[in-house]
Structure 1
């Protein structure tokens, strides 16, 4: 398949991901700290915990042996992030009851923007799940799959030029195991005790 039409769309997706999932929430986190907006701060802490799966995805995509996992974790991250922003009844109520402010407006706009972006991204990434089940060599050598790996490879050249891809993939896999264990603990234990309350999250 000719990837020339796909590459600009994939790179646009990565740029939007940096904007919506990194830059804006960092600004909001600092802003909430300065304003001492506890409800917003708690929501953003939960967001960062959940969205760490995106960074794990980047590291998984770097190594040939681990890159098939990145197609799955990328899709799962797009599903979990919007859920993490709207799931908590107590935080939703607290944020809704906050006095009108520019911070509240920006937060609400960002929540909706990330929800729409992640939902559309999850739908668009479904055809690429085939890359996850065809092996690392297939993903690396097939333009349809490889185009999604180019940005993580660029990240590796910028931030880990002397590290081996295999080692970075190993770090990604360790991160994925820890993330999965924590998520299982949340689903099996914490969710039953606390329900949709963000208390102690």
Structure 2
């Protein structure tokens, strides 16, 4: 059920909202959703790490949830712009989604804490442990549906490569951009 909710809250709804904000030309919602997509790409990376049964995927999973919540509320300038928007169905829908995805990811991170122990098992231990393996079943079904001819190791390499790029970009943001811009998404 968690994966189904994740697809609804973290993929379908934000895609619809981004398209809608683009059509309505509401810059604050567009910018926040672009930031959301950058941050939430860690969920896709986690999916590919889980396909290869890499234990680090349990750490990236909880970090993704935490970072998504932070990214949606961190920006002072965007929060002010969103408050100043005229009431509309898009603003109501976006605000509802923002709260819903924040609660979903916040609760999901808390409920995932007991599974962090899976991050400290080797791959064989991860696969043989029933409480850890249950988290791998859906990514393995995803692999069979979308990548049936690729090996889990190749997809895991793809996930690890994505993680390295993600960490470099995140490190640049924390060390350079955050120091310059503070909590302003636009840098002003």
Q: Specify if TM > 0.5.
A: yes
Q: Deviations over 1:29-57 (max 9, x none)?
A: 10011111111000000000000000000
CA RMSD of the aligned region, Å? Answer: 0.7
| Aligned twin of 1:127 | 114
Deviation at 1:155, TM superposition (A): 0.6
Residue in 1 aligned with 2:71?
A: 84
SS in 1 for 2:55: helix
* Corresponding residue of 1:54: 43
Return 5+ residue gaps in structure 2 as ranges. Answer: none
Question: Equivalent of 2:7, from 11, 14, 18?
Answer: 18
- Superposition misfits of 4+ residues, deviation over 6 angstroms: none
Q: Which runs of 5+ in 1 are unaligned?
A: 1-11
Deviation at 1:142, TM superposition (A): 1.1
Q: CA deviation at 1:69?
A: 1.1
Measured against aligned partners, the alpha-carbon deviations of 1:136-167 in whole angstroms (never above 9, x if no partner) come to 11111111100000110011011100001000
Cα offsets for 1:74-107 (capped at 9, x unmatched): 0000100010001000000111101100000000
Deviation of residue 68 (structure 1)? 0.3
Once the two structures are superposed, the pairs formed by residues 3-152 of structure 1 within 5 Å of their partners are 12-64=1-53, 67-152=54-139
How many angstroms apart in 1 are the aligned matches of 2:71 and 2:112? 20
Measure, in 2, the Cα distance between the counterparts of 1:78 and 1:177: 18
Superposition pairs for residues 145-184 of structure 1, below 5 Å? 145-184=132-171
Aligned pair count reads: 187
SS of match in other structure, 1:147: helix
- Residue in 2 that maps onto 1:185: 172
